[in-house]
């Protein structure tokens, strides 16, 4: 029997209602559902047909992960899954979401459709980040951000593409984004929307001193290297919205495409262009809308 792992954001108020209802729906299904130990903090008892296991075991033997939460929950779970490349079906419990394609009402059906090969799985590019002086590589689905660490003055970010100088940005910071992350911080900072399966990275300065410094799209087969200078003597690095650390100026940050992908299950009714139209209001006649509200 196929094993399905359930990972959930326990901070979402809806989770206490959603999971019991989902468990009831799947009680006669031909799958083994597994939940991690941390869910005991919000549930005192689980049905007999739901197995409670430690998180590592769940990740090691699941054929599908259902992620209950928002886009941030998928980013966290993608880091946990790592190179296992287990497909993730995101169930949206949040607001504006580009990664969570399923809903509470449709989750049970989408599990069936996945195992009967009716749903596509997209292989999303992962950004591998190596920071000078550290052994570990940070793997990111959305983006890497360097910023000026709360300092009032701008920082200088010298950027190389395959050892060739691109630019020395004088700015509040810099975003390097995957296509998946193009609809996140980079979009809010005036960057382009890039279709998820495009083989590219977006380099996007944050509030640059010179208006001619615009976002640029480069091949994801390149290696990007950043060297940061700051009068404060340090800068911050964030990955997928989470603090990675504070580093002394002159520290080199290298980025390139990882050797594995994050696999996201897609559903027809939430195809990427449909999400763009719905989330961004494309095609709406705001003149008529404003007129009707008066």
So which residues are the catalytic ones? 71
User: How many residues are listed for the chain in this entry?
Assistant: 294
Residue 29 structure tokens: 């299904």
Q: In sequence order, what are the residues at sequence separation of 6 or more whose Cβ sits closer than 8 angstroms to the Cβ of residue 275? A: 98, 101
**268 three-state secondary structure:** helix
* Residues 110, 114, 119, 123, Cα dihedral to 10°: 120
Burial class (CB in 10 A: 0-12, 13-18, 19+), 44: exposed
Give the DSSP letter of residue 97.
-
CA distance linking residue 193 with residue 177, whole number of Å: 11
Helix-helix angle 107-115:15-25, to 10 degrees = 50
Residue 152 structure tokens: 């009032």
CA distance linking residue 128 with residue 53, whole number of Å: 30
State the distance between the two ends of the chain, measured CA to CA, in whole angstroms.
58
**208 three-state secondary structure:** coil
* Residues 46, 48, 50, 53, Cα dihedral to 10°: 80
């Amino acid at each position: 029997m196929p094993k399905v792992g359930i990972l959930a954001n326990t901070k979402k108020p809806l989770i206490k209602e959603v999971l019991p209802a989902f468990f009831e729906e799947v009680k006669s299904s031909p799958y083994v559902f597994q939940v991690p130990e941390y869910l005991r903090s919000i549930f005192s008892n689980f049905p007999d047909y739901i197995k409670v296991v430690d998180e590592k075991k769940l990740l090691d033997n699941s054929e599908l992960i259902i992620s209950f939460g928002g886009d941030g929950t998928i980013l966290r779970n993608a880091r946990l899954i790592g190179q296992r490349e287990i497909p993730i079906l995101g169930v949206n419990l949040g607001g504006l979401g580009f990664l969570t394609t399923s809903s509470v009402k449709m989750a049970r059906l989408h599990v069936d459709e996945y195992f009967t090969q009716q749903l596509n799985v997209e292989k999303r590019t992962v950004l591998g980040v190596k920071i000078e002086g550290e052994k570990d590589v940070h793997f990111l689905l959305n983006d890497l951000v360097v910023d000026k660490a709360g300092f009032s003055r701008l920082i200088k970010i010298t950027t190389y593409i395959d050892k060739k100088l691109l630019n020395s940005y004088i700015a509040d910071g810099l975003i390097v984004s995957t296509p998946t992350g193009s609809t996140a911080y980079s979009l809010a900072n005036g960057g382009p929307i890039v279709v998820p399966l495009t083989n590219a990275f977006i380099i996007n300065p944050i509030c640059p001193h010179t208006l001619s410094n615009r976002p640029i799209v480069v091949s994801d087969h390149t290696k990007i290297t950043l060297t940061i200078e700051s009068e404060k003597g340090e800068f911050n690095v964030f990955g997928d919205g989470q603090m990675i650390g504070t580093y002394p100026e002159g520290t080199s940050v290298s980025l390139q495409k990882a050797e594995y992908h994050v696999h996201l299950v897609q559903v027809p009714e939430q195809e990427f262009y449909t999400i763009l139209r719905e989330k961004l209001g494309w095609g709406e006649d705001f003149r008529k809308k404003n007129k009707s509200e008066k």
